[in-house]
Amino acid sequence: MPALKIPTPLRPYAGGESTLLLPGEDVAEVLEAAVKSYPELKKHLYNDDGQLRPFVNVFLGEENINQLDGLDTTLEENDTLLIIPSIAGG
């Protein structure tokens, strides 16, 4: 199963886990499986319109999925996804 690495700020909403093993053939399915297992994650990953929040980025290895096929990026059995926040302020 693909692995999903959770950044420290989101671990309290993912049962304290740093890595989740989740079923899914593409990025969208893995993220859906994550919020199904840990519903509290949902509001931190998605906005009210069901879109990923602007500061939530997903990497497959070292590649941003935006440079691949986005949420439709297909995954292999041993792939590792990382949720990486971008940080802004003023």
Give the residues lining the site for other proteins (CB under 8 A).
Answer: 7-10, 12, 44, 55, 57, 59, 62, 64, 82, 84-90
Tell which residue, 53, 54, 62, 56, has the closest CA to residue 81.
62
Q: Indicate the residue among 15 and 25 with the shorter CB distance to other proteins.
A: 15
DSSP 49: T
Closest to other proteins by CB, 7 vs 23, is 7
Q: Which is nearer to other proteins, 78 or 86 (CB)?
A: 86
Q: Which residue, among 83, 66, 86, has the nearest Cα to 30 in the 3D structure?
A: 83
Smallest distance, Å, CB 24 to other proteins?
21
At closest approach, how far in Å is the CB of 47 from other proteins?
12
Both tokens assigned to 49: 């319109």
**Residue 82 beta carbon to other proteins: minimum distance, rounded to whole angstroms:** 7
Integer CA distances (angstroms), 79 to 26, 57, 72, 87, 88, in order: 10, 16, 14, 25, 29
